[in-house]
Amino acid sequence: MNDQAARLRRMIEDKHPRSDNKSNNIQENSKPEKLSANRGPRTIAITSGKGGVGKTNLTVNLAIALGNMGKRVIIIDADMGMANVDILLGTTSRINLMSLLESDVALEDVLLRGPYGVSYISGGSGMEHAMELTSTERDILFRKLAGCEEWADIILIDTGAGIGGNVLDFISAADEVLLITTPEPTALTDAYAVMKGYSSISDNPNLKLIVNRVIDEPEIREVVGTLSRTAERFLKISVECLGYIYDDQMMIKSVRQQVPVMAGYPESISSRCILSIAKGLLNGHQEKVKLGWRGFLKRIFRS
């Protein structure tokens, strides 16, 4: 769809708000505002080499922090089959991205409005099997998902760990990549493998590190120094650190309670670290030519 058509559709929809929304997933009064500016959302993939290092917690809490700062955020739970986002929010969703293939299911039906103002789409196996879909099916997903750009300023994609499956496709299709690691040697080795895979297939690598579960500042410096020096030397890419999150009992407690730490314990050290990462994302953002959400979808669905 061209820009003019999109503008026109927005004008019509603004005058005649849809009344045929079958689902109550997004309550009429809590619908995120549509984009007025004609610019696509930032598409940020959150990934890791090793599993269990904090991707989903970062994604969900970052979404809450950015939401509190006035940004409209959509999470795509692309960690297939794990429904991680649901678990952290204490929700269950039976509808997912694949449901869009049904003719009577619209984006608004799969765009779930969770607690704490978090909007998200469960990935199901939709993106994982993108290559196995027929071109018509891919076209349907592309067309319906493209509508996300009207509902979001930022799209956060929670990917699976490692470089298997479609993870590298996801991260190379996104405008920005946040690579999260803990200081553990195994996590660092796996993080390096992601950097290597990503830099080998990305035309314009844009990767920032987040170090999670740190104990003190010397540890942060060591992790960032090791990874950035290795990346510079062997991969010829520069990697900066966007932030760090201290190891925090409140984070563990919040996961058990299924209440994101940013909502349940906003004053905790981990919440404050995530808030600072959110600020860094908004303030330190360099304006670059972006592929945006449609560019991401095109690469995933080759539409």
Ligand X SMILES: Nc1ncnc2c1ncn2[C@@H]1O[C@H](COP(=O)(O)OP(=O)(O)OP(=O)(O)O)[C@@H](O)[C@H]1O
Of 15-23, 135-143, 248-256, 282-290, the window that binds ligand X (rule: CB under 6 A) is: 248-256
Say how many C-beta atoms besides its own lie within 10 A of residue 148's C-beta.
22
Among 43, 47, 48, 56, binds Mg ion (CB under 5 A): 56
Among 119, 212, 268, 271, binds ligand X (CB under 6 A): 212
Of 6-14, 18-26, 128-136, 246-254, the window that binds ligand X (rule: CB under 6 A) is: 246-254
Residue 245 near ligand X by CB under 6 A = yes
SS3 104: coil
Among 213, 231, 239, 244, binds ligand X (CB under 6 A): 213
Say how many C-beta atoms besides its own lie within 10 A of residue 19's C-beta.
6
Interacting residues with ligand X between 117 and 176 (CB under 6 A): 161
Residue 85 vs 168, nearer CB to Mg ion: 85
* Beta carbons of 271 and 61 less than 8 angstroms apart: yes
Least Cα distance to 297 among 174, 129, 202 occurs for 174
Which backbone phi and psi does 124 adopt, to 5 degrees? 55, -140
Of 1-9, 17-25, 72-80, 189-197, the window that binds Mg ion (rule: CB under 5 A) is: 72-80
> What are the strands, taking DSSP E only, across the chain?
42-48, 73-77, 112-113, 119-122, 154-161, 176-181, 207-214, 240-246
Count the site residues for Mg ion by CB under 5 A: 4
Q: What's the rounded Cα separation, in Å, for the pair 97 and 109?
A: 10
Among all residues, whose Cβ is closest to ligand X?
A: 51
Q: CA angle, corner 281, sides to 160 and 162, nearest 5?
A: 15
Say how many C-beta atoms besides its own lie within 10 A of residue 95's C-beta.
18
Residue 53 near ligand X by CB under 6 A = yes
Residue 271 near Mg ion by CB under 5 A = no
State the binding partner of 259 from ligand X, Mg ion, none, CB within 5 to 8 A by kind: none
Among 43, 48, 61, 84, binds Mg ion (CB under 5 A): 84
> Can you give the binding site for ligand X, defined by CB under 6 A?
48, 51-57, 79, 82, 84, 161, 212-213, 245, 247-248, 251-252, 255, 270
